[in-house]
Amino acid sequence: MSGSTFVPPRPATCAPSRAARELGLRRNEFTLAVRLGRIRTVPDEGGGGGRRVERAEIDRLRAQDGFPETLRERVRVVGTAEGAALMGIPAGRFTRLARLGLLVPVRLYLNRYRAVVWLYLAEELRQFAACAENAHLLKGRTPETLRGQLAAGVDLRARNWRGRHLGFLLREAEGPWARAGAVAVLLAPVEIADVVKDPYERAQLNRFRSAPSDHGAPGSPSAHLAEHLMTAHDSDEADWLRSELAHAVQEARDHSPAPRPAARHTAPARRPAAHHAHPVPPTAARHAVAAARPASPPPPRDHKGEPGATRPARGLRAWLHRRRPRPAEV
C-alpha cells in the first residue's frame, strides 16, 4: 500500500531483561516480583529452558494506576533500621520480632564485614503494623512466653527464609521431579542419600537441585553462606523435609521413572562353525591321494655277483626285445 509504513508485529513474549526494562524494574526487583507472583511468566517455548513474559502481562501491569511506582513499591525491601522506622518501633524490638519468626525475611546479602543482612518486604511490614492483633507486640512489654524463647536463643529468621524460598521454587517448578528437586534444595546431600537410595533418582534430583543463583558468584563467600543458610540443620525441620522429599519422589516416580542408561546386550557366544566339505582342486586332490596311499616297496636291488640276479633291459635293447616275434609254441 502506498503511503503506509509497515510495522512488524510485536513478539508474543519477551525475555526477562527486556520485560524488566519495560516495567521500570531493576533485575533483582523483577526476580523478586516473579517469585512473589506479582509478574506472571510462561515457559520458554524456544527450547532455552528459561522463563519469558507475555506481552499481554506487560500491558496489564503498565495499565495499572500509579505505574511504575506502585509496582516498585510492592517489591520494595528494607533492612532492620528502615523496617523499624517504617513500623514505628525500635530496631531492637524489630530484631526480636524477626528472631521469633513474626517477621519473615524475603532476601539476604553479605555485607563487607561478612555479616548476614536480612531484608523484608516493606508491604508486609506495613500490614503487620496495621493489624490490631499485633498491637501488644509493638508496644509495651514482650509477653513472657516470647521472652523465654528469646532467652533460649531462638532465631527463626533463617528457617523462615528457607520456607519462603521453598515456596518460590515450588511456584516455578514444572513437573513432579522439579518439585522433588525443590524440596531437596533444603537438605544436605547425606540426608538426600538416606531418603533416596537409588543413584539414578538422586542424579535426577540433582538436575533440579541448585543453589540460589542471586546470592553471589559460585564459590564466593556469599554463595557459601547462602548454601549454608539454605540447608536445614534443626532435626525437626530436617525430618519434615525428609518426609516431604520421600512423598515428592514417590509421586515423581509414579509419574515418570528416573532415566537410566540403556542395558548392555552382550552378544551370544558364537558356536563353532561346522566344517563343510569344499571342492578340492584336481591337482590338490592328486597330491592328497598320493599322500594317503601306502608307500610301494622299493624295486629289488641289482647286486652284481649274486646268483640269479638279472639286470633289466634298458634303452634300445629293451625296445628291440619287445618288438622281436615270439616263437610259436609246439
- Cα separation, 214 vs 28, whole angstroms: 8
Q: What is the structure's pLDDT at 209?
A: 80
Which range, of 70-74, 111-115, 143-147, 286-290, averages the lowest pLDDT? Answer: 286-290
Q: In what order do the strands lie in the sheet with 42-43?
A: 13-14, 51-54, 42-43
Mean pLDDT of 44-51: 73
Please, are residues 15 and 58 in contact by the beta-carbon 8 Å criterion? Answer: no
- Cα separation, 124 vs 76, whole angstroms: 10
3-class DSSP state for residue 111? coil
With a CB cutoff of 8 Å and minimum separation 6, the contacts of 186 are 162, 165, 166, 230, 231, 232, 241
Please, are residues 120 and 103 in contact by the beta-carbon 8 Å criterion? Answer: yes
pLDDT of residue 189 exceeding 60, the answer is: yes
pLDDT of residue 252 exceeding 80, the answer is: yes
Q: How confident is the model at residue 118 (pLDDT cuts 50, 70, 90)?
A: very high
Q: What is the structure's pLDDT at 178?
A: 93
- Cell 534444595 belongs to 185
Please, are residues 184 and 249 in contact by the beta-carbon 8 Å criterion? Answer: no
pLDDT of residue 218 exceeding 60, the answer is: yes
- Distance (Å) of CA 109 to CA 118, 125, 217: 7, 19, 12
Q: What is the structure's pLDDT at 80?
A: 96
pLDDT of residue 132 exceeding 70, the answer is: yes
> Who wins on pLDDT, 109 or 153?
153
Task: List the grid coordinates of 283.
Answer: 591337482
Task: List the grid coordinates of 219.
Answer: 564459590
3-class DSSP state for residue 272? coil
Mean pLDDT of 288-317: 50
What radius of gyration, in Å, describes the C-alpha atoms of the chain?
Answer: 47
The H or E element containing residue 77 is strand 77-78
